[in-house]
Amino acid sequence: MNTIGKIFSVTNWGESHGKAIGVVVDGCPAGLDLVEEDFDLDMARRRPGQSRLSTQRMETDKVAIASGVFEGKTTGAPISLIIYNQDQRSQDYSDMMDVFRPGHADFTYFKKYGHRDYRGGGRTSARVTAGTVAAGVIAKKILRQVMNIAIIGFVDQIGKVSYHHDFQNIRFDEIEKNLVRCPNKSIAQMMEQQILDAMRDGDSVGGVVACILQNVPAGFGGPIYGKLNADLAHAMMSINASRGVEFGSGFQSANYRGSELNDPFVCAEGEIRTLTNNCGGILGGISNGMDINFRVAFKPTSTIAHRQQTVNQQGTIVELAAGGRHDPCVVPRAVPVVEAMAAIIICDHYLRNQTSSFNL
Amino acid sequence: MNTIGKIFSVTNWGESHGKAIGVVVDGCPAGLDLVEEDFDLDMARRRPGQSRLSTQRMETDKVAIASGVFEGKTTGAPISLIIYNQDQRSQDYSDMMDVFRPGHADFTYFKKYGHRDYRGGGRTSARVTAGTVAAGVIAKKILRQVMNIAIIGFVDQIGKVSYHHDFQNIRFDEIEKNLVRCPNKSIAQMMEQQILDAMRDGDSVGGVVACILQNVPAGFGGPIYGKLNADLAHAMMSINASRGVEFGSGFQSANYRGSELNDPFVCAEGEIRTLTNNCGGILGGISNGMDINFRVAFKPTSTIAHRQQTVNQQGTIVELAAGGRHDPCVVPRAVPVVEAMAAIIICDHYLRNQTSSFNL
Amino acid sequence: MNTIGKIFSVTNWGESHGKAIGVVVDGCPAGLDLVEEDFDLDMARRRPGQSRLSTQRMETDKVAIASGVFEGKTTGAPISLIIYNQDQRSQDYSDMMDVFRPGHADFTYFKKYGHRDYRGGGRTSARVTAGTVAAGVIAKKILRQVMNIAIIGFVDQIGKVSYHHDFQNIRFDEIEKNLVRCPNKSIAQMMEQQILDAMRDGDSVGGVVACILQNVPAGFGGPIYGKLNADLAHAMMSINASRGVEFGSGFQSANYRGSELNDPFVCAEGEIRTLTNNCGGILGGISNGMDINFRVAFKPTSTIAHRQQTVNQQGTIVELAAGGRHDPCVVPRAVPVVEAMAAIIICDHYLRNQTSSFNL
Amino acid sequence: MNTIGKIFSVTNWGESHGKAIGVVVDGCPAGLDLVEEDFDLDMARRRPGQSRLSTQRMETDKVAIASGVFEGKTTGAPISLIIYNQDQRSQDYSDMMDVFRPGHADFTYFKKYGHRDYRGGGRTSARVTAGTVAAGVIAKKILRQVMNIAIIGFVDQIGKVSYHHDFQNIRFDEIEKNLVRCPNKSIAQMMEQQILDAMRDGDSVGGVVACILQNVPAGFGGPIYGKLNADLAHAMMSINASRGVEFGSGFQSANYRGSELNDPFVCAEGEIRTLTNNCGGILGGISNGMDINFRVAFKPTSTIAHRQQTVNQQGTIVELAAGGRHDPCVVPRAVPVVEAMAAIIICDHYLRNQTSSFNL
C-alpha cells in the first residue's frame, strides 16, 4: 500500500503531526554520489510557507540520510531518509476532532480504519508528499547522470486561467522565476491573481500541472499491465488532490480522426522519430524516444476558511470554518511532487529495462 | 509486467495470431459457481465483428476453463482460461512486415525487443483484451454475489458527438440496445453516424467511455501509493488506445473553487453520505460509499485504410494503406474491457480490505 | 501464491486430472531460441512411468508453446506452456472421495478451501511439478547460453542408503546412467534395491537430492530478505514432499568451530576464491563465485498400498489402502524438479543483478 | 530485496555503524494497542552484551515509534520503528579495511556493490536483525491477541552438545532461565561450557535453534509457490549465519518408510487431528492445526580472534585476528530472531488467509 516501484522501490511513512516522516528507497544502485544537500532545492520547492501564496506552516524540511550512504556514495543498501517534523501544533486541530470536512479524506479514513487522527489530517495530509519528493531527488539524479534524462514540471492552469501550451517552445527558464511556476510570465501573473482572490475569499482554487520528460530512450515500459503510461497514471493519481491524468492529445483525442492524430514516422540523421507527438511519447505503453508529456488535474484544496455545512461523527449537522491555516492553492507546490513521482517511475523502468532482450 | 492485482491476480498471455490467448486468475476464493457459459455475454460484447460498425475478423471467443474449477465450483486453485484463436490469417499482414504504422506500437516493440511480430500486431493487438474481459467476468461475479456491486460502462463520446451526462439519471437499460452503447438513443444514432462516416473515409474516430460502480462500500483503497483511484487509473491506461482518465469532476475541477466542489456531508437514514458527488466516490484514495465514476479517453485506431506516409525498418519512406481490415472505432467494444479492468481492481481491493482493522 | 520470481516470473496452474496443466513464464528476454523439442529431455526425466521404479501412470508430457515465441525465438511476451493431461482416470479415486490419506495434503486443502478434489489429489498432486520443470527448461537455457551456468542434481540418499559425497570429484556422467540418478554406480544399485523392497511391501521410501550450480558468478543475491540461499530454500520447500534444505556444511555446521569452517580466501590466477567451500558458495546471501551446493530432504510418498487406519470427513475411522497406483519413491524423479526450481531462482537473480551498481 | 511479507510487510534498513537502523511495518491492522515498552523484552533478548557469553558491544536497543501509532493504538498507517545506534566505534575496524575475513560476507558485498563498508560489516552485520526483532514484536502481539498463537524458540544444539528433544514435553519455563536458552538445565550448562571454551580459544561455535508455533489453525499457507513451510524456510535462511532448515522429521525422513512417517488421522472431541506430528504441522504447504515445528542450523560466527590467513583486496596474503570484539556464539541471541521471522510470516499468512473461500 505504501510502497511503489518494482526494482527502484520507495516505502513512504509518517503523519502530518507525528515525530517525523520519511521514506526508505530500496534498489538504488551502489556508487551514486549523494549528500544531504542534494535534497534541499526540491524540498524547498515543495514546502509550505515558501511564498505569500501558500499556507504559513513553517517546516524547513531538511532531509537526514540515516542509512545506505557511506563516504558520500550509495552502497546498494536501502537509503532511509528522515524528515523531522518541527511545526507540530496538533492542538490547532482539536476543534475539528469529530467533524468530517467536506471533500476531505478524514471521513474515508475513519470508515476504513475506525479511528481518527485529527492532527492536521494525519496520514491523509499532503505533508506525506515530502517523502515522495525526497525519494524523487535520488531518482532524478540517477536519470540525469545515466542518460541525461530531464524531468520538468510546470503549472498549466490555475482556476480559470489556462496556459494552453502545446508542449513546444516552452520557456523552461521562466518556470522558477514566478511564484506559480508557469513558463509564461504574463499568464503567471493572472494565475497568481486567481490564488490571491481565492485566498481573500477564504476559498481555494484547483489547477493543472504539466510535465515533460526529455531524453527518455525508446523501449521503456512493457506490454499489457506494465505500460509506462499506466505506471505514470498510477503515480499521478497517488498525489493528494489529483483528479485526472492525460497523455499527449489526451481527452482531445476523441475529437480527431486517426489520419489527423497518427504521428507519422520520419527518418532524420539515421534515426527514426515521429514528426508530431500527439501520442505524448508513448506507443503501446512503451516510450518511443520522443519527449514524454502528460497533464495532471488537481481539485481545489478541500480545507477552506469559507464557512461550510457538514456533519460530525454522530451525524449531527455542524458548521465548519478552518481558521487561518488553509492553503488556497497547492498546484504550484505540486510541481515538484509530479516531477518526483515521474522520476521514481522512470527510474524503476530504466532499471527494469536492462533485461528486455539479449543477443545470445 | 503481464500480471495485475495483488490478491486477486490476473496474468495475461497470448498474441493476436498465435494458437491461443488466455489468462490465469489466481486468488479467486473457493466456492464460486463458475461454468464456461458465464463468459459468453461479455466475450460477445467485446469480440470483433459483432456489428456493422467494427472489423470483420471472426472470432467466437469461446472461453475454455482449463483448471481451478471442479464440479462447477472454484477450488481456490488458479483458474486457467484459454481462448483458442480461429481466424489466424497471418499472411494478410506480410505486406506490413517491416513498415512502422503511424501511431502503432509495432515501432516501440521493435525498439524494445529487437524483433517484429507482424501477425496482426502480435502482443500489441487489442485481441489481448479478450483475456482481460474473461478475467473480469469472474471478478464481476464475485462482486455481485458478495456485495451486490454493479459495474456499468457506457459510451460518453464518439468523435465530435458527446453525451455530456452528469452520471445521474442514466438510462442503463438503453445501453445495450444500440450498437455504440450510449444510454441516450438519439445521441447514439449520431455517434453511429460518426463511425460510419469514418469507415466510409477509410479513417477512424476516438471517443470516451464512462463507467459507474454502484454499491462499493466505504473503505476500499488505501493511503499514498495504494489508492483506489490510482489503481483504477493504472488499469484504464492499460487498455489499448487509452489516452487519459479522470474521476468525478476530473479536468473540470480546475475551473471551480473548493466551496463549489467540496461535496457536503449529510446524514440520511442514519448513514453519512455526500449531497453531491464531485469527487467521483473516492476521497483520499478510499471509497466513500457513493457511486464511483470515471471517464476514459480513447484515441482513434491507428491502423486505417487511408493512405499514410511512414518509414520502414531501414528508414526508407513508404506509403501505407491497411486494406479492408481496419476497425473504424474500438470505443463501443472497449466498454466491456473498461468494466472488466474496473472489476478486477475492485475485486482485488475487496479482498485486500478484509484486513484493514480489527477489534482486539 | 502460484507465482514465483520477481523478474523471471513463473505462474503455475492445473490439477492432476483436469484437462491440462501449464505455466506462464513472464520476463524471459526476447531473442532466445526456443522450440517445443527443447522440453522433451527434462519432461521425460520427471514423468511418471519412466522406469520400473515408479508409478505406471502414463503421460507423454509433451509441452505445447501457446504464446511468446515467434519464428523460433522468444519475443519478450509471456510464454504460455501447456501440457495436456492424457491419463485422466478420475474414477479410480472415487473410493477415496471423503477419506483423508495419512500424510497427505487432501486434509489441509479441505480445511482451507472447504471442498475436495479427489481426482488424484487435484492441485496437491506432484503432477503440478511438470509445469515447474517446463519453466525450468527455459531458465536453464538462458543461464547456459548467457554465462555457461550448469545446474546438476543427483540423488544423495534413498532410504537408508546414503552416498555421502563431499560435492567434489562427482562422476556427473554416471548420474543419468542408472534409474535412481546417483553418480556412484554401486551405491545406485543399493538405492534401487531400497525402492524395490518398499514397492514389494506396498510401502514407500524417502531420500535426499543434492544439487550443484557451476559457474554462478560472484554477486548474485542480496541483503536481508533477498538472499540467494533464502530464495533457493523457498524454492526447494515448494517442491512436493520436501522436508528440509541445507547449504554447504548445513546442519553439520553446528559440530565445528569457526576456525574449522571458515573458508580461507586465496588468490589464484589473479582471482580471489576460497580454498574450501563449507559455505556452499554463498556468503551473506550473495554468491561468492564458487560452486553453489545444497541438499533437499524428501519424505516417503504418503500414498501407499500398505493398509493404514485413518478417518473420513465425518471423523469415522476407516481403513485405507491405495491399490496399485502408488509411487514407492519420488526422489529420482524429483531431481529435474530440484534443478528446475534452482534454475528459475538463479535466472531471476541473474536478471535482477543487472542493476546493482554502476560507474557514473 | 529488503522487504518481506505480502500483506503484513516489513522493510528493513540500516547498517551496523550508521546513525540508526529501523524497519517500516506496513499492513498492520488499525486498532492494536502498541507502546514503545512493548519492544523492550525481545530487544533485550537479542542485544549484544546481554550476558558473559556474548560480544560486549553495548546497545540499549530502545525502539522509537516514529509513525503509525496515535493515542496508543495503531492507525493502519505504516509503523516506522527507529533504533538509534549508540556504540559506533567505527575506527575499531579500520585495520580490516581492505582485508576479506574468511567466512564473512564482506567479500561478496564488495563483489556485488563495488565498495566496502568496513564499519563493523555495515549492512552485513547481525545488527540488522534488531529491526527484524522489532517488527516481530508487532506480529507476535497480533497473533497472540487474535488467535492465541504462541511462538517459542529455544536452543537445540551448541557445538557438539545436542538436546535431541522430540518437540514434546518441553519445559518452556526453563528456556529463559539459562544463558543459552535451552529448556533442559543440565544440557544448558554443557552448552554454556562449549561457548566458554570457544571464547577462551578465540574461536566460535555454531548450533541449532528449534521453534514451535502453537495454536496455528488449519488452513494457513497455500499451493505450489506460496507454501507456509517455503515462506518459513525463506525467512529462516534470511537470518545471518543460518545454513539449513528442516520441518518435523526433516532430514531424518529419508531413513523411514511412508508407513512409519505418515501421521494417522484420528478424531478427538469432534475435531480431526493427527496422532503423531512427523510432518511438523504442515501438509502440502498448509498448516494442519497441529503445532508447527522446525529447526534452523547456524554456522559458527566467522569473525574470530584466532589467527587466520586470508587475502586483501589486492589479492595479497595477510594474517588476520579480530581483537577482543568477536562473538563466540550467536545462537542464543538468534532465538528471538527466529521467533520474530516466524511471527512475521505467520502474521502475513493469517491476513492472507482471510480470503481463501466463502459461502456465496
Q: Do A13 and D123 touch (CB under 8 A)?
A: no
Helix (H/G/I), strand (E/B), else coil: D96: helix
Name the residue among D201, D227, D298 with its Cβ closest to that of C237. D227
According to DSSP, residue A95 is labeled G
Residue D280, pLDDT > 80, answer yes
Which among A146, A223, A359 is the nearest to C358, CB-wise?
Answer: A146
Concatenated DSSP letters of B103-148? T-THHHHHHHHS----STTGGGSGGGHHHHHHHHHHHHHHHHHHH-
Computed over every residue of chain C, the mean pLDDT equals: 91
Report whether pLDDT(D324) > 70. no
Query: Which residue, D108, D142, D112, is CA-closest to D25?
Result: D142
Q: How far apart are the C-alpha atoms of A337 and A344, rounded to whole Å?
A: 11
CA distance A134 to A40: 9
Evaluate if residue A90 carries a pLDDT over 60: no
Residue A91, pLDDT above cutoff 60:
no
User: How far, CA to CA in Å, does A78 sit from each of A29, A243, A343, C324?
Assistant: 10, 32, 18, 56
Q: What percent of chain B has pLDDT over 70?
A: 94
- At residue A40, φ and ψ (nearest 5 deg) are -60, -50
pLDDT band at C98 (very low <50, low <70, confident <90, very high): confident
What pLDDT, on the 0 to 100 scale, is given for residue C50? 83
At residue B303, the pLDDT reads: 87
Give the pLDDT score at C30. Answer: 92
Question: In this structure, what are the phi and psi dihedrals at residue B18, rounded to the nearest 5 degrees?
Answer: -80, -170
Model confidence at D347: pLDDT above 80: yes
**Cell representation of residue B125:** 493487438
pLDDT per residue as tens digits for the range B165-206: 778 889 999 999 999 999 999 999 999 999 999 999 999 999
Average pLDDT of C220-229?
Answer: 93
Least confident of A240-254, C18-32, C107-121, C340-354: C107-121
CB A258 within 8 A of CB A245: no
Report the percent of chain D where pLDDT is more than 90.
75
Q: Using 50, 70 and 90 to split pLDDT, how confident is the model at D285?
A: very high
B45, B288, B252, B242: which is closest to B152 by C-alpha? Answer: B45
Per the CB < 8 Å rule, is C357 touching A6? Answer: no
Single-letter code of the amino acid located at C151? I
User: What is residue A355's predicted lDDT score, i.e. its pLDDT?
Assistant: 67
Per-residue confidence (pLDDT) for residue A289, from 0 to 100: 96
- CA gap C218, C358 in Å, rounded: 16
Nearest CA among D36, D249, B65, D103 for reference residue C258 = D103
Lowest mean pLDDT among A9-13, A55-59, A315-319, D325-329: A55-59
Which residue numbers of A have CB closer than 8 Å to D's CBs? 1-3, 9, 11-15, 18-22, 24, 26-27, 30-31, 64, 66-68, 70, 73, 75-80, 82, 109, 112-115, 117, 119, 122-123
DSSP B246-303: EETTGGGGGGSBHHHHS--EEEETTEEEESS-TTTTEETTEE-SSPEEEEEEEPPPS-
Are the Cβ atoms of A354 and C352 closer than 8 angstroms? no
pLDDT at D42 (0 to 100): 97
Chain B residues with CB inside 8 Å of A209's CB? Answer: none
**Which residue has cell 482471510?**
D354
| Dihedral, D347, D353, D355, D360 alpha carbons, nearest 10 | -140
Report the DSSP beta bridge partners of residue C213.
Answer: C151, C292
pLDDT category of residue C124 using cuts at 50, 70 and 90? confident
Geometric angle at alpha carbon C187, from C186 and C193, rounded to 5°: 100
Identify which has the larger pLDDT, A341 or D56: A341
Nearest residue to B326 via CA among B205, B242, B210: B205
> Does pTM surpass 0.90?
yes
- pLDDT given for residue B164 in this prediction: 77
**Pick from A24, A70, A123: CB nearest D13:** A24
C-alpha cell at D110: 564488495
What is residue B57's predicted lDDT score, i.e. its pLDDT? 64
pLDDT of residue C343: 98
Which has the minimum average pLDDT: A157-161, A187-191, B13-17?
A: B13-17
Phi, psi of B251 (to 5 degrees): -65, -20
- The answer, yes or no, to whether residue B91 has pLDDT greater than 60, is no
- Residue A124 pLDDT greater than 90, yes or no: no
| CA distances in angstroms from A122 to A283, B11, B264, D72, D324, listed in the order given | 39, 36, 21, 15, 48
Contact D357 B27 (CB under 8 A): no
B111 φψ region: left (φ > 0), alpha (ψ -120 to 50), beta (else): alpha
* Predicted pLDDT at D356: 67
Which domains occur in chain B, in start order?
3-355 (3.60.150.10)
Average confidence (pLDDT) over B26-50: 93
Name residues whose C-beta falls within 8 Å of residue C201's C-beta, 6 or more positions apart in sequence.
C306, D257
Could you give the CA distance from residue B65 to residue B279 in angstroms, rounded to a whole number? 39
φ, ψ at B216 (rounded to 5°): -70, 120
Question: What is the rounded distance in angstroms from the CA atom of residue A281 to the CA atom of residue A268?
Answer: 17
Question: What residue has cell string 463507467?
Answer: B211
Asked if D102 lies within 8 A of C287 by C-beta distance, the reply is no
For chain B, the first-to-last Cα distance in angstroms comes to 39
DSSP element (H, E) containing D197:
helix D185-200
- Host H or E run for residue C140: helix C129-147
Residues D3/A9, Cβ–Cβ less than 8 Å: yes
> What ipTM, to 2 d.p.?
0.96
Name the nearest CA neighbour of B10 among B294, B346, B331: B346
- A155 CA to chain B: closest CA distance, Å? 12
Residue D359 reports pLDDT greater than 70? no
| D206 contacts in chain C (CB < 8 Å) | 253-256, 261
B69: cell is: 474449477
C-alpha distance from D273 to closest chain B C-alpha (Å): 23
What pLDDT does A12 receive? 98
According to DSSP, residue D177 is labeled G
pLDDT at residue B341, as a whole number: 98
d(CA D223, CA A330): 48
pLDDT tens-digit series, residues A103-112: 999 899 999 9
Give the total residue count for chain D: 360
Task: Report residue C51's pLDDT band, with 50, 70 and 90 as the boundaries.
Answer: confident
Sorting pLDDT into bands at 50, 70 and 90, what band is B324? low
- HSE of C138 in the Cβ direction (CA atoms, 13 Å)? 33
Question: Count H helices, E strands: chain C?
Answer: 7, 18
| Cβ atoms within 10 Å, residue B138 | 26
Q: Is the pLDDT of residue A125 over 80?
A: yes
Closest-CA distance of chain B to residue A108, Å: 6
Q: Where are the beta strands (DSSP E) in chain C?
A: 3-4, 9-14, 20-26, 64-65, 69-70, 73-74, 79-84, 150-158, 161-162, 207-214, 242-247, 265-268, 271-274, 282-283, 286-287, 292-298, 308-311, 317-320
C195: pLDDT confidence band, cut at 50, 70 and 90? very high
pLDDT tens digits, A167-176: 888 999 999 9
Cα torsion through D126, D127, D129, D133, rounded to 10: 140
Cα separation, B22 vs B139, whole angstroms: 16
Backbone angles phi, psi at B225, to 5 degrees: -105, 10
Q: Average model confidence (pLDDT) for chain D? A: 91
CB D298 within 8 A of CB D234: no
CB D240 within 8 A of CB D126: yes
pLDDT in tens, C228-265: 999 999 999 999 999 999 999 999 999 999 999 999 99
Does the pLDDT at position A346 exceed 90? yes
- For chain C, the straight-line distance linking the first and the last C-alpha, in angstroms and rounded, comes to 39
Q: How far apart are CA C50 and CA B34, in angstroms?
A: 36
Report the residue from C234, C260, C303 with minimal CB separation from D230: C234
C-alpha cell at A172: 523552461
Contact at CB, B261 and A299, closer than 8 angstroms: yes
Q: Which DSSP letter does residue C290 get?
A: S
Coil/strand/helix, residue A312 = strand
Position D88 confidence tier, pLDDT thresholds 50, 70, 90: low
B272-288 tens-digit pLDDT = 999 999 999 999 999 99
Region A260-272 average pLDDT: 93
CB atoms within 10 A of CB C14: 30
Instruction: Map residue A273 onto helix, strand or coil.
Output: strand
Q: Which residues of B125-134 are buried (b: 16+ CB within 10 A; e: fewer)?
A: bbbbbbbbbb
pLDDT band at B48; cut points 50, 70, 90? confident
Element (H, E) at D132: helix D129-147
Nearest-5° angle of CA C19, CA C25, CA C28? 155
Percent of chain C at pLDDT > 90 equals 76
Whether C123 and B30 lie within 8 Å, measured CB to CB? no
Q: Distance between CA C221 and CA C230 in Å, rounded? A: 9
Angle between helices D228-237 and D331-352 (to 10 degrees): 150
pLDDT score at C118: 75
Is the pLDDT assigned to residue B3 strictly greater than 70? Answer: yes
Encode pLDDT of D158-172 as tens digits: 999 999 777 888 999
CB–CB contact B204 A112 (8 Å): no
For B261-270, B292-301, C62-71, C119-128, which range has the lowest pLDDT when averaged over its residues? C119-128
